[in-house]
Structure 1
Amino acid sequence: MIRVKRGYTAQRHRTKIRSFESNFRGARSRPMRTLTQHKIKASVSAHRDRDRQKRDFRRLWISRINAAIRGSSIYCSYSFFLKNLYKNQLLLNRKILAQIAILNRECLYTIFNEIIKSKKKEERNGWISSFFFHFFSRKIKISGVPNSGIPIPPGSWY
């Protein structure tokens, strides 16, 4: 049989695949079959590891924030810090918080102290409002007045 050299399209295809050749060592870079197999495997690994990298960085940021918070004079957990951060609508993502924890720890302590102040204020306001709610929502029985079992609104003169 006559041997036919492949055309321009096949040569272009091989040249495109061989652009990955510089990253492979040994026989992986020369034969076309092994070169294509290892190119596919490399692209699968790259796709998988991009997702894994996101996970790993998130874990790193969380551990840095947690270490910085627990190292402060006021002991607190990471979950408590983030819950109150979002409750006070201080929307900072974990990456930025981790950078603040490493580069400027005093700034992180300032954020933390603001959260503590607002939490104490909220507890104090909650206690006062619950006290007055129970005080003014009592049912007052007045002798001689019809329908005396109804709650009397605050500010009335009965």
Structure 2
Amino acid sequence: MTRVKRGVISKKHHNNILNLSKGFIGRRKNNFKIAKQAVIKSLLYSYFDRKLKKRNFRSFWISYLSNFLKIYNFKYNFFISCLNIFSLKLNRKSLFFISLDFYNFIKFFSILFFYYHYI
């Protein structure tokens, strides 16, 4: 049988996987075969959760704006339609941060509301 000389490379590969599995519980942290499965699963979870994070933040911004506008008897869908009519390209994140600055947001929206109804 021929000699295979790749022990250094496989050791490096194993160490990379075991370094990624630090903090796992039980044999998932120090047994290569099980750690490899756990690392693959954790990387999949992290990928999907990065996508889910974007979705959750968008829904949070929308619900915040909706509740904020409800205080002043405005509806969220009316607000968004006004933005579209005046072709203001503001995303929900920027609207959220504008609304945190209370006075400027109300001033901006009252001007928008005025133009929509009287012009």
TM-score when scaled to structure 2? 0.88
Consecutive unaligned residues of structure 2, counting only runs of 5 or more, are none
> Which deviations, in whole Å up to 9, do the C-alpha atoms of 1:53-76 show, x marking residues without a partner?
11100000001111111112xx11
Aligned partner letter, 1:24: F
Quote the sequence identity (%): 29
Question: Where does residue 36 of structure 2 map in the other structure?
Answer: 36
Question: Where does residue 23 of structure 2 map in the other structure?
Answer: 23
Question: Where does residue 89 of structure 2 map in the other structure?
Answer: 91
Answer whether contact 2:65 2:76 (CA < 8 A) is retained.
Answer: yes
> Which deviations, in whole Å up to 9, do the C-alpha atoms of 1:83-105 show, x marking residues without a partner?
1012112222111111222x212
Is 1:115 matched up with 2:112? Answer: yes
Answer whether contact 1:68 1:105 (CA < 8 A) is retained.
Answer: no
Q: For the aligned residues, what is the CA RMSD?
A: 1.7
Question: Where does residue 146 of structure 1 map in the other structure?
Answer: none
Aligned partner letter, 1:89: S
TM-score when scaled to structure 1? 0.68
Equivalent residue pairs, number: 116
> Which deviations, in whole Å up to 9, do the C-alpha atoms of 1:126-148 show, x marking residues without a partner?
xxxxxxxxxxxxxxxxxxxxxxx
Answer whether contact 2:65 2:96 (CA < 8 A) is retained.
Answer: yes
Aligned partner letter, 1:14: H
Question: Where does residue 64 of structure 2 map in the other structure?
Answer: 64
| C-alpha separation in 2, matches of 1:83 and 1:38 | 47
Question: Where does residue 76 of structure 2 map in the other structure?
Answer: 78
Q: CA deviation at 1:23?
A: 2.8
Aligned partner letter, 1:62: I
Aligned partner letter, 1:117: F
Which structure 1 residue ranges, 4+ long, deviate > 4 Å from structure 2?
Answer: none
